[in-house]
């Protein structure tokens, strides 16, 4: 498994295991999944306080039998800010949320804390106070955001002193808005509409690592595009490349993300240890520029 720099702050596996659905497994099977990830070279694990109401964090710690010797092998990221029916980036909530995650994860520090989606009522001064307290106390070592555009990030950066190392964004072969706008500049076509404020280029300019979530999904949790009859041309193209390179279609889908020079870190949420092994083979797959664009076009995108 190749390593990449996360926001210039820490080195981690270029693929991360997302733990949102880990509670669907037994404790034994969860342990198998996590240990398979470690064996494959994944050392970065993504959580959020809302996943299964906090039970995903608990399951993770219990399944791996969290203790110092184990903890030092892991890079743990969690997120906070989503509450029942609203978002909350208040100082009080951020501090309480981190304490809750620390308790559930049975650790005394979080490697990366992300603000989970934007809170339109954010008071960046409060976020700055919370971040400073968490950093000085040693509870959180690095900070970032999810689903935020450049102006929202700049608003935070005006007040927080810590570098924002990551931005978790929905991105897959079938969810390419932040790619489309850069390809269709100065065009009067649907793909030219900028919904994200050039977030891809912004993150590259400011050394913020993009973490694609739902890398196998199309729409907003509408389903997976692999082996889906709705996308025959795309699957035909992916399957052809998978056969040529001796890997599965899941590896090709992730390799497509890894090929981008932005050096993204996909978050894969599989609960199958065998599928995770297949996915990890993406780290050794090199797609050529023509192959990358062939997949992009097969997904229904037209080049100018």
Q: What pLDDT is attached to residue 10? A: 97
Judge whether 144 and 168 are in contact, CB under 8 Å: yes
DSSP, collapsed to helix, strand or coil, labels residue 213 as: strand
Helices (H), 12-90: 27-39, 55-63, 68-71
Contact 167, 148 (CB under 8 A): yes
Token pair for 190: 């649907």
State residue 249's pLDDT score: 98
Instruction: At 292, list the tokens.
Output: 């990358």
Tokens matching residue 154: 């700049």
- Other CB atoms within 10 A of residue 53 CB: 11
Q: 55 Cβ partners below 8 Å, 6+ apart?
A: 23
Quickly count: other Cβ atoms within 10 Å of residue 273's Cβ.
Answer: 19
pLDDT (tens digit, 0 to 9) for every residue of the chain, 304 residues total?
A: 999 999 999 999 999 999 999 999 999 999 999 999 999 999 999 999 999 999 999 999 999 999 999 999 999 999 999 999 999 999 999 999 999 999 999 999 999 999 999 999 999 999 999 999 999 999 999 999 999 999 999 999 999 999 999 999 999 999 999 999 999 999 999 899 999 999 999 999 999 999 999 999 998 888 999 999 999 999 999 999 999 999 999 999 999 999 999 999 999 999 999 999 999 999 999 999 999 999 999 999 999 9
Taking Cα atoms as reference points, which of 144, 88, 89 lies closest to residue 114?
A: 144
Instruction: Kindly state the tokens that stand for 197.
Output: 């404020």
How many residues can be counted in the chain?
304
Query: What pLDDT, on a 0 to 100 scale, did the predictor assign at position 222?
Result: 86
The one-character DSSP state at 113 is E
Give the domains, in start order, of the chain with CATH numbers: 3-229+260-270 (3.20.20.100)
Catalytically active residues, by annotation: 51
Token pair 């037994």: residue: 26
**139 contacts 130 by C-beta, under 8 angstroms:** no
Q: What is the pLDDT of residue 192?
A: 93
In whole angstroms, give the CA distance from residue 288 to residue 169: 24
Q: Which of 65, 26, 74 is nearest to 46 (CA)?
A: 74
DSSP state of 212: E
CA distances from 211 to 46, 104, 190, 195 (A): 10, 24, 25, 18
3-state secondary structure 69-132: HHHCCCEEEEEECEECCEECCCHHHHHHHHHHHHHHHCCCCEEEEEECCCCCCCCHHHHHHHHH
The pLDDT score that the predictor gives to residue 219 is 86
CA distance 166 to 85: 25
Pairing of strands 10-13, 3-6: antiparallel
């Amino acid at each position: 498994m190749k390593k990449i720099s996360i926001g210039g702050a820490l080195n981690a596996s270029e693929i991360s295991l997302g733990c949102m659905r880990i509670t669907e497994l037994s404790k034994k099977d969860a342990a198998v999944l996590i240990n398979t990830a470690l064996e494959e070279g994944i050392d970065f694990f993504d959580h959020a306080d809302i996943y299964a109401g906090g039970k995903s964090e608990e399951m993770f710690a219990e399944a791996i039998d969290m203790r110092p010797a184990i903890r030092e092998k892991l890079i743990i990221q969690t997120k906070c800010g989503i509450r029942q029916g609203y978002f909350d980036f208040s100082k009080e909530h951020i501090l309480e949320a981190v304490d809750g995650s620390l308790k559930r994860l049975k650790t005394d520090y979080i490697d990366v804390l992300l603000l989970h989606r934007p809170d339109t009522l954010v008071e960046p001064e409060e976020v700055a106070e919370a971040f400073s307290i968490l950093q000085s106390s040693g509870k959180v070592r690095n900070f970032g955001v999810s689903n935020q555009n450049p102006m929202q990030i700049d608003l935070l950066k005006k007040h927080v002193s810590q570098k924002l190392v990551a931005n978790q964004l929905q991105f897959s072969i079938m969810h390419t808005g932040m790619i489309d706008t850069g390809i269709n500049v100065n065009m009067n076509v649907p793909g030219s509409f900028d919904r994200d404020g050039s977030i891809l280029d912004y993150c590259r300019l400011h050394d913020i690592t993009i973490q694609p979530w739902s890398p196998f999904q199309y729409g907003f949790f509408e389903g997976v595009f692999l082996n889906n009859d709705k996308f025959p041309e795309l699957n035909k193209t992916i399957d052809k490349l998978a056969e040529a390179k001796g890997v599965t279609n899941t590896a090709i889908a992730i390799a497509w993300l890894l090929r981008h020079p932005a050096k993204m870190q996909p978050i894969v949420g599989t609960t199958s240890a065998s599928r995770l092994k297949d996915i990890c083979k993406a780290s050794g797959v090199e797609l050529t520029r023509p192959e990358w664009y062939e997949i992009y076009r097969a997904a229904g995108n037209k080049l100018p």
